[in-house]
């Protein structure tokens, strides 16, 4: 990657990205996946053997949660970024996060809303 993370994952760097310090706070290595939208309904299975331990899940239009839900540990992942390019992050009580060293939520754009009704427990 050559340049700011925001330009790489969102296509450009906004004034909000700069003012929030997005690019300076998230400056390590990691793997990322981009979706049109993302629905979190359960704990994913992730293989990190010989690979990255930081993961970014980026959605263009929004990240939400749904049933059946449960505890999301993202086993093998140290740091998790949940970000939207131009949409809300709305996570309900049907999911919870546990065991991550750090977790970052970043709702960006004119349609951004950050609403967290889920439990979050981090480790160090």
> What local confidence, expressed as pLDDT, does residue 74 receive?
96
> What local confidence, expressed as pLDDT, does residue 1 receive?
57
Residues 6 or more apart whose Cβ sits within 8 Å of residue 1: 8
**What average pLDDT values come out for the chain (124 residues) when binned by 10 residues?**
83 91 82 96 94 95 97 95 96 97 92 94 81
The β-bridge relationship of strands 63-65 and 38-40 is parallel
Q: Which domain holds residue 90?
A: 5-122
> What local confidence, expressed as pLDDT, does residue 104 receive?
93
> What local confidence, expressed as pLDDT, does residue 18 receive?
92
Are 98 and 72 in contact, with CB atoms under 8 Å apart? yes
Reduce the secondary structure of 86-117 to three states and give it as a string.
CCCEEECCCEEEEEECEEEEEECCCCCCEEEC
Q: In what order do the strands lie in the sheet with 102-107?
A: 31-35, 54-59, 79-84, 102-107
Is residue 15 within a helix (H) or strand (E), and if so which, with residue range? helix 15-20
Give the count of beta carbons closer than 10 Å to the beta carbon of residue 114.
Answer: 15
76 in helix, strand or coil? coil
Could you give the number of structural domains in the chain? 1
> What local confidence, expressed as pLDDT, does residue 107 receive?
95
Structure token digits, residue 109: 């754009």
């Amino acid at each position: 990657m050559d340049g700011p993370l925001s330009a790489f994952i969102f296509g450009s760097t906004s004034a909000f990205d700069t003012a929030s310090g997005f690019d300076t706070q998230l400056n390590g290595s990691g793997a990322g996946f981009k979706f049109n939208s993302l629905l979190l309904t359960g704990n994913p299975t992730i293989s990190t053997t010989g690979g990255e331990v930081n993961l970014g899940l980026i959605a263009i239009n929004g990240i939400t949660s749904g049933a059946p839900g449960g505890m999301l540990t993202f086993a093998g992942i140290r740091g998790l970024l949940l970000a939207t390019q131009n949409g809300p992050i709305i996570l309900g009580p049907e999911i919870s996060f546990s065991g991550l060293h750090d977790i970052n939520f970043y709702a960006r754009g004119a349609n951004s809303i950050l609403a967290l009704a889920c439990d979050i427990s981090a480790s160090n």
